[in-house]
A and B are shown apart, each in its own frame.
Chain A
Amino acid sequence: MMTRFREEEELMTSGHLACQGCGGPIAMRLALKALGEDTICVIPACCWTIISGPFPYSALKVPIMHTAFETAGAAASGVRAALDIQGRSHTKVLAWAGDGGTFDIGLQSLSGAAERNDDIIYICYDNEAYMNTGVQRSSATPDRAWTTTTPSGHPKRGPKKNIVEIMAAHKTPYVATASVAYPEDLMRKVRRAAETRGTTFVHVLSPCPPGWRIDSEASIRIARLATDSKVFPIYEVENGEKYQINVKPRDIPVAEYLKAQGRFNHLAAEDIAEIQRKIDHEWRRLMQKAMMDSYSGSHY
């Protein structure tokens, strides 16, 4: 079924400052459609600091509190506490951060909020590097990718940090991956996150044309390839226990995904073969988790 977008339901306006083909505004537009106008948005330093527009403008029709880079989790908790004590519990709190603000500098405050199970929706739009500052590596940068701090002669070595597993290990009530290539799935997950009490976490793959060295019109196609090649599986985890894969990949070789992006230009055939082996291994592990029985009681 096709979702129809109606103008009056748009909570994001035109005139934002994202680059062409950026996944960030697409993800935000979809997420806010799912959340509705009774939402407060907390944004740490990231491209969205710029995208939302400079003072005195805003590209969102919901309130935004900009906050320091390392503080999204703690700041969202603070808004939640203040809303609750005032009897404004109906208002949803959205922490909206990049991969750097989530996987790296903000991990401590995210972990703190998740462990307390504060009632916030945390969405990480992951473009796999520090894009605001000009493409430096983050711990979400994939194995062997080029960035300005992992130059192609010496690309990043080692796996991308598995943030979903980290959040699942907190026994967070609801954790999911999503992608701008699957808008209906993304919106369903954000709605589900909003309906779930406690901390919920949605990890959204969000292509960055200049950082990934792709054409701006290729964003969605490449995001789709990420899922079809099992680089970025689309799944959800309830209470850190119950895994469900939501999109069946089309089993495309990872080479097709990698070769479509300049940031992987320097890879040799052996690199690609090894990346493929790791992806196949991770996929098998995920399938096993999806088949496991889960603990049926509540953790909270």
Chain B
Amino acid sequence: MRKVIMGNHAASHAVRLARAQVIAAYPITPQTQIVEELSEMCASGQLAAKFLKVESEHSAMASIIAASSTGVRTFTATSSQGLALMHELLHWASGARLPLVMVNVNRALAAGWNIWTEQTDSLAQRDTGWCQLYVEDNQEVLDTVLQAYRVAEQIALPVMVCYDAFILSHTYEPVDIPDQDRVDAFLPVFSPTRLLDPLNPCSFSALVQPEHYMEMRYRIQQSMDEAIGVFRTAGEELHRHFGRRYGNLETVATDDAEVVLVTAASMTGPARLAVRKLRAEGVPIGLLKVRLFRPFPTAEVRAALAGKKKAIIVDRNISFGKGGIFADEIRAAMSNVDERPKIFGYVAGLGGRDITPAFLEAIAREALEKEDPPELEMKL
């Protein structure tokens, strides 16, 4: 069924279709409609889930970690301050190898208060052992949440689906909401191999001494490496089931491009327009959308950018003292490639400042003209 819905409702519908069994969440702008809609769905019986209306995000994450350990499919959603408050538990989730799925609506962090979009909140959770995807539109929100459950349960690691505050969360777009039986065919029933059960008494997350701890970390890293392929396959399966294709990356007109604009999340929309316009003028430019951020699809990024003259990366986030986080990841990924492009890193749109097609076009033109890139340029 095709319906015009906001990004937050696209997430709620995906959670309903995934038949989540325990939900624990705490309201925060701009995520609240996810929680409100799921409350309604649980109250009306559309979704047979237990909804814990906890007293903080810290408790939300602690509760779904526990519920998942007890053998059920779970969900939570948050944003910004809430995600930051969860930080300790994020490590608990991945360390315990739990297939949690969470939506994070990207919002800038205090101080001072700001409710508008920026990706520093989730990118600051880069090293917690969660997979992360950044999505571009409301359809992709719904599809990616389904993909997230499938992959998380296959690799036994948690997945965070990230999308931009207001630009997606509160904006209405037509979204195809698949029927339950089609989703059931795509997403198998969750069947955990280990769970809290007195019939098979095990101790979870106990003290691990140095002779074992590193092996456990080694295996998380192995699963992360494996996850790149698992995400790719799940993206192809999404196409087979629902007719929509999602790679870990998406390239537009990069084959014959000399210069590539690199974006993530909703600014990819305006970037498509900017690239189309420049192409029409004969500028040899292409677009690379990075959808999967953790695990970082290094080989795919290398394949997309090797041999290009320039990569222009626009980050709606900042690691203070260094620069844009996507730019840095890409710089690192390309460092052992001989035919690597010059990396132009721009930080823009922090705290919800608009990123328009014209703005991206201007950045691209500037980078096209310059011989040598600045390490970082903040576009005020």
Contact = CB atoms under 8 A, between A and B. Distances in A.
Interface of A: 45, 49, 55, 66, 68-70, 103-105, 107, 130, 132-134, 136-137, 139, 148-151, 153-154
Given A66-B110, A137-B53, A130 B43 contact: no
Interface of B: 26-29, 32, 35-36, 39-40, 43-44, 53, 55-56, 81, 85, 110-113
A105 B56 contact: yes
Contacts of B39: 148-151
Given A45-B113, A49-B113, A153-B44, A70 B85 contact: yes
A133 B53 contact: no
A69 B113 CA distance: 11
Given A66-B112, A68-B110, A105-B55, A134 B32 contact: yes
B55 A139 contact: yes
A153 B110 contact: no
A107 B112 contact: no
A225 B378 CA distance: 56
Contacts of A45: 81, 113
A132 B26 CA distance: 13
B81 A69 contact: yes
A139 B26 CA distance: 12
B56 A151 contact: no
A68 B81 contact: yes
A66 B36 CA distance: 27
Nearest to B84: A68
Contacts of B28: 133
A-B pairs with lowest CB-CB distance, top 8: A104-B55, A154-B43, A105-B56, A136-B27, A149-B39, A148-B36, A133-B27, A151-B43
Interface residues of chain A: helix, strand, loop or mixed (majority): loop
Contacts of B44: 151, 153
A66 B111 CA distance: 8
A104 B113 contact: no
A149 B55 contact: no
Nearest to A148: B36
B222 to A, nearest CB: 36
Nearest to B57: A105
Contacts of B40: 151
B61 to A, nearest CB: 13
Given A130-B27, A133-B28, A153-B43, A104 B56 contact: yes
Nearest to A153: B43
Given A55-B112, A149-B39, 7 more contacts: A69-B81, A133-B29, A133-B32, A134-B36, A136-B35, A137-B53, A148-B32
Residue picked from A70, A103, A133, most chain B C-beta under 10 Å = A133
Contact of A66 (B29, B56, B85, B113): B113
Contacts of B55: 103-105, 107, 139
19 contacts: A45-B81, A68-B81, A68-B110, A69-B81, A70-B85, A107-B55, A130-B27, A133-B28, A133-B32, A134-B29, A134-B32, A136-B27, A136-B35, A137-B53, A148-B36, A148-B39, A149-B36, A150-B53, A153-B44
A104 B26 CA distance: 11
Nearest to B56: A105
A144 to B, nearest CB: 14
A66 B110 CA distance: 9
A46 to B, nearest CB: 11
A55 B112 CA distance: 8
A153 to B, nearest CB: 5
Residue picked from B27, B28, B43, B81, most chain A C-beta under 10 Å = B27
